Amino acid sequence: MRKKFFVALILIGLSAALHYGCASSRSGSEVQFGLWASEKNLWDEAIFRWKKAIEADPKSVAAHNNLAVAYEQKGLPGEALKEYELALKIDPGNSFVKSNYKNCQENIQPPQKDAAAVKNEKK
């Protein structure tokens, strides 16, 4: 259930992030193509398109955010975190990127248990 919610949250972030950071028309069209590919679960194509968008416009927050999402979907959380960090350097206040970044971090590191819970498990 949590995973479905997480994916839905990411896709909302994908759509919203599309409106940020598309300085060139080439970059914007690559971001849109990547978004289409991601909706079809064509993650390799989406990655290819978002990398092209970044080549055209290295400051595209949408491309970096969406590439990070694709890396998560492909099981590459380390790469995803790097892309989220790049997006946040460009636009530190972007709430969609912040949310996706936080979710990615939480999925990599399971929530910490408090001392009482750990003590009870040892019994």
pLDDT of residue 117: 61
Please check the confidence at residue 119 and state whether its pLDDT lies above 70. Answer: no
Work out how many domains the chain is built from and give that number. Answer: 1
For Cα atoms 26, 99, 2, give the angle at the middle one, nearest 5 degrees.
115
Q: Comparing 120 with 43, which gets the higher pLDDT?
A: 43
> Containing domain of residue 67, as a range?
2-110
State how far the alpha carbon of 9 is from the alpha carbons of 5, 13, 63, 102, in Å: 6, 6, 17, 12
**What single-letter DSSP state applies at residue 118?**
H
Q: What is the CATH number of the domain that holds 16?
A: 1.25.40.10
Exposed, middle or buried, 90 (CB in 10 Å: 0-12/13-18/19+)? middle
pLDDT for residue 98: 97
Q: What angle do CA 103, 91, 50 make, to 5 degrees?
A: 70
> Radius of gyration over alpha carbons of the chain, in Å?
16
Q: What is the pLDDT of residue 8?
A: 40
Instruction: Work out the average pLDDT over 1-5.
Output: 44
Global pTM?
Answer: 0.72
Kindly state whether residue 122 falls inside one of the protein's structural domains: no
Give the pLDDT confidence score for residue 24 in this predicted structure.
Answer: 61
Residue 117 counted as domain residue? no
Residue 52 covered by a domain? yes
